[in-house]
């Protein structure tokens, strides 16, 4: 019978080590990144924080699900930090970025001469994560062959390096994440059901940013603070914040972070302007026409205070054309619902509490007759432009 060997301490991993040649600003940013916590006042984020606190002390496998940029890696790091394994390594592996044939040796290591190019023996990520946490990111992209290998480690807690028959014992906590819908991947045969249930001992679903717009002010404040030591202070006026709250953020917090960085570059030590927001945000933002852009850059909002209490609209000092404004809102919501229902009018009508014929009439009014158009954002935006 093969003997299980406990792997000696691997120390901190390459991924956690910082080469001393990096500039101070990069080091400072990385240090801040390491202690980043999950920011948000929404009930969804509070719930995620509670789940992290509950699961962290256990050794349960955690599966974090959610769209890109929603903070899955941040959650994985928080679980590790709050666990009894915090003083041991946190080792991330992007299963989607490493080609299938290399992933096996990346995870389990290899012996010298195990394959062409294996000129020295090398420890894999399981060994490097000894006593700590292995974060299997983009697990939904893992090949069927590797899924079988991983399942065995989860079941038996042991593995072999490629080219070796010595069994190694793995004292590693597994946290996995994916933006994919694993249940539909199972239905189409791309993901193993048995592996899914192993990983899913404790699932955490990350809510998309568009479903928790009340988090935007505090997130923006935090993101500005993260950049603070590198550049001056940025103020976000109320109309800019409201425009951002009306956008749907397909790239979630990562996209928000990019927008804040852009505003920061454009307005060092000053107030951001609506016109500096990316085109897609302005377009998606109800009632923001070139005229509003000229008129609405007023009225600063205290960053950090939620603007959720406002109805989400802004009356410029010089007033506005109410009919045009309400039409824009109506068009925006029609657009959103059709988008969300992939162009299926009956479903979109249901979402809006309208009869199907009423929605069809409204679509005709706004020249939205071709349902297929709603399948492509670019076309949607082009139509919105025409009506402004
Ligand atoms: N609630 C939050 N509070 C503070 N920062 C956040 C929050 N959510 C995400 N971020 C920041 O947004 C960026 C993206 O987060 P992260 O990498 O964890 O997302 P992800 O879900 O793993 O994305 P992907 O699927 O694209 O890998 C990071 O810089 C992270 O610090
Ligand atoms: Mg990630």
257 Cβ closer than 6 Å to some ligand 1 atom? yes
Range from 55-64, 111-120, 192-201, 277-286 carrying the lowest mean pLDDT: 277-286
What is the rounded average pLDDT of the residues 177-196?
Answer: 95
Give the residue, by CA position, lying nearest to ligand 1 atom 18.
Answer: 71
67 Cβ closer than 6 Å to some ligand 1 atom? no
pLDDT of residue 381: 43
314 Cβ closer than 6 Å to some ligand 1 atom? no
* 178 alpha carbon – ligand 2 mean position (Å): 8
**pLDDT at position 18 over 70:** no
> Which residue matches tokens 């590790």?
80
Among residues of the chain, what percentage have pLDDT more than 90? 49
**pLDDT at position 37 over 80:** yes
Nearest to 335 by CA among 287, 284, 278: 284
**pLDDT at position 353 over 70:** yes
Atom of ligand 1 lying closest to residue 75 CA: 18
What is the rounded average pLDDT of the residues 323-352?
Answer: 81
In a 3-state reduction of DSSP, which class is residue 189?
coil
Among residues of the chain, what percentage have pLDDT more than 70? 73
* 250 alpha carbon – ligand 2 mean position (Å): 15
Highest mean pLDDT among 192-196, 333-337, 360-364: 192-196
* 6 alpha carbon – ligand 2 mean position (Å): 30
pLDDT of residue 121: 86
pLDDT tens figures, 250-276: 999 999 999 999 998 888 778 887 777
pLDDT of residue 143: 92
Long-range contacts of 205-208, Cβ-Cβ distance < 8 Å, separation of 24 or more: 205/65, 205/66, 206/48, 206/64, 206/65, 206/66, 206/67, 206/70, 206/71, 206/72, 206/75, 207/42, 207/44, 207/45, 207/48, 207/66, 207/70, 208/66, 208/67, 208/70, 208/249, 208/252
Atom of ligand 1 lying closest to residue 66 CA: 21
pTM assigned to the model: 0.70
- The pLDDT-based confidence of 60 (bands split at 50, 70, 90) is very high
């Amino acid at each position: 019978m093969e003997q299980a060997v406990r792997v000696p301490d691997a120390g901190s991993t390459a991924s956690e080590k910082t080469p001393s040649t990096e500039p101070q600003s990069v080091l400072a940013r990385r240090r801040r990144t390491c202690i980043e916590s999950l920011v948000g006042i929404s009930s969804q984020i509070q719930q995620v924080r509670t789940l992290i606190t509950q699961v962290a002390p256990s050794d349960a496998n955690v599966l974090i699900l959610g769209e890109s940029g929603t903070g899955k890696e941040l959650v994985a790091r928080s679980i590790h930090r709050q666990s009894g394994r915090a003083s041991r390594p946190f080792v991330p592996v992007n299963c989607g970025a490493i080609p299938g044939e290399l992933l096996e040796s990346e995870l389990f290591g290899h012996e010298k001469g195990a394959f062409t190019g294996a000129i020295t023996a090398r420890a894999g990520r399981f060994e490097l994560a000894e006593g700590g946490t292995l974060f299997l990111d983009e697990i939904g992209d893992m090949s069927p062959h590797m899924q079988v290998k991983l399942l065995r480690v989860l079941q038996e807690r042991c593995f072999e390096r490629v080219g070796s028959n010595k069994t190694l014992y793995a004292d590693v906590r597994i946290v996995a994440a994916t933006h994919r819908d694993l249940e539909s991947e199972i239905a189409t045969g791309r993901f193993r059901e048995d592996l899914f249930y192993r990983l899913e001992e404790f699932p955490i679903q990350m809510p998309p940013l568009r479903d928790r717009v009340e988090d935007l002010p505090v997130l923006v404040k935090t993101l500005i603070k993260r950049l603070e030591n590198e550049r001056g202070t940025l103020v976000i006026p109320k109309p800019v914040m409201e425009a951002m709250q009306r956008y749907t953020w397909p790239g979630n917090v990562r996209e928000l972070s990019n927008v804040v960085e852009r505003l920061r570059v454009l307005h060092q030590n000053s107030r951001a302007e609506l016109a500096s927001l990316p085109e897609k945000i302005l377009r998606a933002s109800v009632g923001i026409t070139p005229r509003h852009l000229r008129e609405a850059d007023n009225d600063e909002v205290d960053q950090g205070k939620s603007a959720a209490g406002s109805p989400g609209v802004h009356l410029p000092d010089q007033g506005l054309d109410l009919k045009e404004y309400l039409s824009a809102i109506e068009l925006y919501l029609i657009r959103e619902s059709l988008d969300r229902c992939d162009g299926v009018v009956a479903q979109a009508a249901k979402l809006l509490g309208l009869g199907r014929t009423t929605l069809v009439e409204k679509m005709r009014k706004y020249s939205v007759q071709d349902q297929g158009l709603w399948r492509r954002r670019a076309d949607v935006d082009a139509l919105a432009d025409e009506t402004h």
